[in-house]
Structure formats: structure tokens, C-alpha cells
Amino acid sequence: DRSIKIAPSILSADFANFGAEIRAIEAEGCDWVHIDVMDGHFVPNLTFGPPAVKAFRPHVTTVMDVHLMIAPVDPYIEAYADAGADVLTAHVEATPHIHRTLQAIRGAGMKPGIALNPGTPAEAVEHLLDLTDLICVMTVNPGFGGQKFIDMTAKIRRLREMIRDRPIHIEIDGGVDPTTAPLVASAGADVLVAGSAVFRGGSVDNPGAYGDNIRAI
């Protein structure tokens, strides 16, 4: 299924209201829900861990897409399976043993994703394609919402060539808005994460703005 999916990142939602925020973006027509897990070590910011993600689970009726920006990864895989992650994405830069990590994620019953920082080449995933369901191309340096988009269209095109007809999603994360979305979509991306561009101007009391923002992307 190559139709474009919008995955709002709840990093830009009201942290005191996650359940209501998730229900609002789903009611307004998002396709997936993107959950940014940060450890203050792999990236210079801290968000939440497995107990919080488990608490989000009953509010998500679409796809719970969990993006781990943590190192190490392997000790936490079971906890995210237990929390109910559908897709669990790890950074290739976070471990010398990404192959093992992807096998463990699939073995725990989730769809494995690989994320690539802006400085990491497409070729980093070349020998991992049979172990992954999603490649997340970071278009910002991970850690914060609301950063400026970094053009990675050449990398996206290269990945689309490498993937050929395998059923692997190419997800874009960082600085996606109505201006940058068409660039990455035409390069071959099919899942667009957007934080600030979805949540700006809205709230759980004014969720229509979320819907307008989603449709504008």
C-alpha cells in the first residue's frame, strides 16, 4: 500500500493530556500515531518510557508507531512488546548489532523499523532489508520537535531503488509540513511523521485545527 500516511508525533501534543490528544488526532483522520521515546543519552532530550507507552495503547486504534531514540535498545524490546507497540524502530547508530536488534524486535511480535540520522548513508540498511518493515529517514537531527527540515531526497530515492518491490515503508521524520511533504512524497516516502505541523493552532478543545493541518500536509 503506497498511499501516503500521516503519523502525527505526540511530542508536540499536550503532555498532560496524551489520551485525549491521541483520540483527537485519530478522530481528525490521522493514519498512524508516532511516539518519540528519548533517553537523554542517545539524544539530548528525555520523553517517556514503556509504562507511559503502555498507557497510550488503549487510546490508539490505528497503528502505534514507536520511534526509539535510545541506546542500548535490546534490554527494552520486551517492554515495548508488552506495551503494545505495533512498529518498533531503532536507530542504526544506536548499536553495533542492529541485525540482532531487528531479529529480536520481529521475534517479539512487532514490525521492526530502522532509523537513519541525517549523516548516515542509505547503504547502512543494504544488508538489513529482509529484516525490516520500515526505514525511517530523519530529516532533522533527532531530539526535538519544530526543527528546520534537512533535505534528504537523494537518500530517499536511493532507498526506494534498493527496496524495489519489497513491502517496506519509507517514513520521513522531522520538519514535515505542507511545503516539504510533496518533496519527500515524490522522492518515494509513504509515511510522513509531523509534530509541530499537526498540533500547531489546535487543542483537544479545538481539534478541528488538527484535521485542517493533517489535510494540508
Q: Which residues would be at the binding site for ligand DX5 (CB under 6 A)? A: 9, 11-12, 34, 36, 67, 140, 142-143, 145-147, 173-176, 193-197
Task: Please indicate if the annotation marks 34 as binding a ligand.
Answer: yes
Q: How far apart are CA 207 and CA 203, in angstroms?
A: 6
Which residue lies nearest ligand DX5, judged by its C-beta? 195
Name the 3-class secondary structure at 172. strand
- Picking from 59, 67, 63, the residue whose alpha carbon sits closest to that of residue 24 is 59
Task: Please indicate if the annotation marks 201 as binding a ligand.
Answer: no
| Cβ proximity to Zn ion, 87 vs 125, nearer residue | 87
Non-local CB neighbours of 107 within 8 Å, separated by 6+ positions: none
Shortest distance (Å) from residue 33 CB to Zn ion: 11
67 binds Zn ion (CB under 5 A): yes
Total residues at interface with Zn ion (CB under 5 A)? 3
Q: 52-86: string of b/e by CB count within 10 Å (b at 16+)?
A: ebeebeebbebbbbbbbbbeebeebbeebbebbbb
Task: Please indicate if the annotation marks 175 as binding a ligand.
Answer: yes
Name the 3-class secondary structure at 6. strand
| Cβ proximity to ligand DX5, 29 vs 109, nearer residue | 29
Shortest distance (Å) from residue 144 CB to ligand DX5: 6
Choose the one of Zn ion, ligand DX5, none that binds residue 11, judging by a C-beta under 5 to 8 angstroms depending on kind: ligand DX5
Catalytic residue numbers, as ranges = 36, 173
5 binds Zn ion (CB under 5 A): no
Task: Please indicate if the annotation marks 9 as binding a ligand.
Answer: yes
- Residue reference for cell 522522492: 187
Shortest distance (Å) from residue 129 CB to ligand DX5: 22
| Cβ proximity to Zn ion, 125 vs 192, nearer residue | 192
Identify the helix (H) or strand (E) that includes residue 161: helix 153-163
Query: In the sheet that 33-38 helps form, which strands lie side by side, from edge to edge?
Result: 5-8, 191-194, 169-173, 134-138, 111-116, 87-91, 64-69, 33-38
| Cβ proximity to ligand DX5, 120 vs 147, nearer residue | 147
Contact positions toward Zn ion, by CB under 5 A? 36, 67, 173
